[in-house]
């Protein structure tokens, strides 16, 4: 179903981006990430939720395309902010074109993402389309606030974070745009704004955090070709993953001090030997198993929450697809 | 009237930003530029146009506040892209907080600017509010495309630009958000979407280009305290102003080559003596008088266009205020 809905969204996205790319350089740059092979998880989730609540997949296509564009806007800006080298198997956009052009291309992706939400009116009418815009505003707001938290932790070399801090940051930075918003918008379209959208926040939170922890685990020990960005980039960036937070809790004072000295160095100045030590220490202190266990518990919680959130949804493959996502999130490589 | 409408917009803006600043760091950073003393030209123009077409100024306040926030979002991102040092009499935001936090604060300003456009519905209803959102999408799109043009000229060290290239770039980068969009939205509110908005493009273009050329002239020889950003920053950045384009047309081959060698150097590597030579050459080749003459011609064209654009507007101080802007744009220091 990821393939089926993903290719529906990808076709609409590609023809939109091709049209725009002919108009200005900036859209050609903006089209780069979206056209690199992604799996369109968010677009598929949005379309499946729409169908599970009674709409046709086509009624959610504009919203799904918008979502992919907003997602890519975040990626472009995040890659600049994190000084990332790679994305989806290629160089990061600012490595190809410099920070100024990449930053502006990220802004272009935001405005490209706004257009389909306005076109929604032709399909869904003004009232429902306006509600989707309100949802989009909330989603971008949560994402920006989550990114601000994460940037502050790195800037201040935060040394006393807890699992609860991590979950709160991930709720904002990952879950809103990855799971909560796609489901809310799908349900909004399916029911023509006839369901309480807050019922989806818990399921989306459990699903999105399980997904993010698995993503962080893959950054540590995934397959580079499949993962598509530099492995151990999170360690270099000093990203406060659950594994790192756990390490800082479980380590001796001397280890903590050594880790914090390493983390506060600029990305390029972090010695490879120290990074290897940090990774080994994570393994030795069972931080990876710990994070994996938390991800499993969250996936289980998502499953437990599912009947409450989707009790009124139509039985069928769309509903089953959404129900399968929590464990898929853990098993993907 | 700039004071009167400006302070109306500033009060609404300040209380909004204060409320948000308590919610997250990122809004405190985002609030920095908007709370530095600006003159709120764009907000005032929007409110005056709304009144000139029959609305109360209050009906345009949300749109005016949004406009100021979007404007500041562009400033934050542009300052990063241009490596600017100063803005409105203080250090540029990325000089204070680093590129990552400033970039994210710029994104926060975009989403802060979207909210009031959604709140418009309470005042103007869904139909008119939706139309304003469409106008906003167009405005951001034009701005991003204009910025892309300017960035490309600098990156490629463009050496064969014409006055017509400059005007086209300025139409997109400056005029849409400075004059065309504020007037279109004001007229849209005043007439409840009952007037052809394309009638305002020419007036807004003439006004906005006159304004931008004067801005570029002030960067060369204004008063630093009043201007609020580093003088000669445009020369350091290699910005393709009308004066520079004229210089490259009018110079000898040897002078052209010398200028282009200087322009392609990174900002910090440009020798002060060469910058002084470039500025002297601009004076010697009458580039400044030339640009001033073009700005005057454009202000005159704006006045000539005014009756056609505002023929149906109510007589009174709002209409007179808008009519006075072309020459005000030239006389401000």
Token duo for residue A318: 């769309």
What are chain B's domains? 2-331 (1.10.600.10)
Token duo for residue B133: 């959102």
Residues with Cβ within 8 Å of residue A123, at least 6 apart in sequence? A58, A59, A62
B1 compared with A145, residue with greater pLDDT: A145
Whether chain A has a CB inside 8 Å of the CB on B98: the answer is yes
Does position B122 have pLDDT exceeding 90, yes or no?
Answer: yes
Q: Which of A92, A141, A157, A237 should be substituted to probe chain B, the one whose Cβ sees the most B Cβ atoms within 10 Å?
A: A141
| Residues linked to residue B87 through DSSP beta bridges, in sequence order | B90
Q: pTM score, two decimals?
A: 0.95
Token duo for residue B320: 């007179």
Q: How distant, in Å, are the alpha carbons of A144, B205, B305 from that of B332?
A: 37, 18, 21
**B153 contacts on A by Cβ (under 8 Å):** none
- 8 Å CB contact of B26 and A101: no
Q: How many residues does chain A have?
A: 333
Whether chain B has a CB inside 8 Å of the CB on A96: the answer is no
Separation between Cα atoms, residue A238 and residue B101, nearest integer Å? 16
Number of H helices, E strands in chain B: 17, 2
Does position B228 have pLDDT exceeding 70, yes or no?
Answer: no
Chain A, residues 230-249, CB within 8 A of chain B, namely: none
Q: How distant, in Å, are the alpha carbons of A79, A136, B83 from that of B259?
A: 35, 47, 20
ipTM for the predicted complex comes to 0.94
Separation between Cα atoms, residue A221 and residue A200, nearest integer Å? 32
Whether chain B has a CB inside 8 Å of the CB on A104: the answer is yes
**Crossing angle (nearest 10°) for helices A317-331 and A287-310:** 170
Query: Cβ(A186)–Cβ(A54) under 8 Å?
Result: no
| One pLDDT digit (tens) per residue for chain A, 333 residues | 888 888 999 999 999 999 999 999 899 999 999 999 778 899 999 999 999 999 998 999 999 999 999 999 999 999 999 999 999 989 999 999 999 999 999 999 999 999 999 999 999 999 999 999 999 999 999 999 999 999 999 999 999 999 999 999 999 999 999 999 999 999 999 999 999 999 999 999 999 999 999 999 998 876 666 656 666 889 999 999 999 999 999 999 999 999 999 999 998 999 999 999 999 999 999 999 999 999 999 999 999 999 999 999 999 999 999 999 999 999 986
State residue B2's pLDDT score.
86
Whether chain B has a CB inside 8 Å of the CB on A145: the answer is yes
- 8 Å CB contact of A100 and B80: yes
Separation between Cα atoms, residue B242 and residue B213, nearest integer Å? 7
* CA-wise closest residue to A5 among A54, A36, A38, A53: A38
Token duo for residue A167: 């979950």
- 8 Å CB contact of B126 and A127: yes
3-class SS at A152? Answer: helix
- 8 Å CB contact of A144 and B107: yes
* CA-wise closest residue to B179 among B51, B58, B292, B48: B48
Whole-number average pLDDT of chain B: 94
């Amino acid at each position: 179903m990821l393939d089926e809905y993903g290719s529906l969204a990808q076709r609409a996205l590609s023809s939109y981006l091709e049209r725009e790319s002919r108009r200005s350089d900036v859209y050609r740059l903006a089209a780069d990430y979206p056209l690199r092979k992604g799996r369109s998880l968010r677009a598929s989730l949005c379309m499946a939720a729409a169908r599970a609540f009674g709409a046709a997949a086509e009624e959610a296509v504009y919203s799904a395309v918008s979502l992919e564009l907003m997602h890519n806007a975040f990626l472009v800006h995040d890659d600049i902010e994190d000084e990332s080298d790679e994305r989806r198997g290629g160089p990061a956009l600012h490595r190809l074109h410099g920070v100024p052009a990449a930053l502006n291309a990220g802004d272009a992706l935001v405005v490209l993402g706004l257009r389909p939400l306005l076109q929604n009116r032709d399909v869904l009418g003004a009232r429902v389309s306006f509600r989707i815009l309100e949802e989009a505003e909330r989603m971008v707001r949560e994402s920006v606030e989550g990114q601000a938290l994460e940037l502050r932790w790195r800037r201040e070399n935060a040394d006393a974070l807890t699992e609860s801090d991590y979950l709160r940051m991930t709720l904002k930075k990952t879950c809103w745009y990855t799971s909560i918003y796609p489901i809310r918008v799908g349900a909004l379209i399916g029911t023509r704004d006839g369901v309480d959208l807050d019922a989806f926040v818990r399921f989306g939170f459990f699903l999105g955090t399980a997904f993010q922890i698995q993503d962080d685990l893959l950054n540590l020990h995934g397959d580079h070709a499949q993962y598509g960005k530099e492995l151990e980039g999170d360690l270099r960036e000093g990203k406060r993953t659950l594994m790192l937070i756990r390490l800082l809790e479980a380590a001796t004072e001397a280890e903590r001090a050594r880790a914090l000295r390493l983390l506060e160095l600029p990305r390029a100045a972090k010695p490879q030997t120290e990074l290897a030590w940090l990774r080994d220490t994570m393994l030795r202190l069972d931080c990876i198993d710990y994070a994996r266990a938390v991800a499993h518990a969250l996936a289980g919680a998502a499953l437990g929450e599912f009947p409450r959130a989707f009790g009124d949804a139509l039985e069928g493959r769309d509903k089953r697809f959404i129900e399968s996502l929590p464990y898929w999130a853990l098993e993907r490589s």
